[in-house]
Amino acid sequence: MNHFYFPVSFGTILMSWTSDELLHRLEWSTNRFAIYDKVKLPELFAELVDSIRGYFYQGEPLGSVPWDLIDQSEWSDFQREVYKTISLIPHGQTRTYGWVAARLGNRSASRAVGQALRKNPLPILIPCHRIQCCQSVGGFMGTTDPMRPEVQLKRKLIALEEEYENPLFPFLTPEAGRSFFEFMQTS
């Protein structure tokens, strides 16, 4: 497994990929100090890093999920269906666990949907943060405690997407205009 760390506006992302260059995992940490591995980042993932940074810094939509670049070998059929369903939720919108269950044809599968989302190896890219409970924001990245950084991140991501406005002049926001490799050269 290959690993690469990169900073985002609130924390650090660890990207892992297989020897076949399939994206395996994205992990978020509150650590603001990134450690850049000496591993050569495949070019196809460099674009994804730029997109994720644009998402965190500007709230820019990530676009469609690159399913052909993702290692799905450890996913159950149900997980695959859940992930593909939530990937269709538009940027800036949220749905409930019950909504996902109904879309899958089983209204009573809300808890199963929650368990599948708890195992989501690619949070943010596969937007499980857009799924909420009827009464609360729900859990995120394996925790439901509203005081945990993961659930606080979920709230920030929802707010970031709700506040996103496509800037008319993107060159006025310096972070948005810099590619990941330009950022690396100046850091």
Which alpha helices (H) appear in 110-166, and where do they start and end?
Answer: 110-118, 149-163
From the list 42, 35, 39, the residue with the least C-alpha distance to 14 is 35
Joined together, the tokens standing for residue 3 give: 């690993």
Residue 12: partners with Cβ closer than 8 Å, 6 or more residues away: 5, 6, 28, 29, 30, 31, 32, 33, 34
23-29 vs 11-17, strand pairing mode:
antiparallel
- AA letter at 117: L
From the list 5, 9, 6, the residue with the least C-alpha distance to 163 is 9
- Buried/exposed 96-123: b ≥16 CB within 10 Å, e otherwise: bbbbbbbbbeeeebbebbbebbeebbbb
Q: Which residue of the set 70, 100, 128, 157 is catalytic?
A: 128
Active site residue 133: no
9, containing H or E segment: none
Catalytic residues: 128
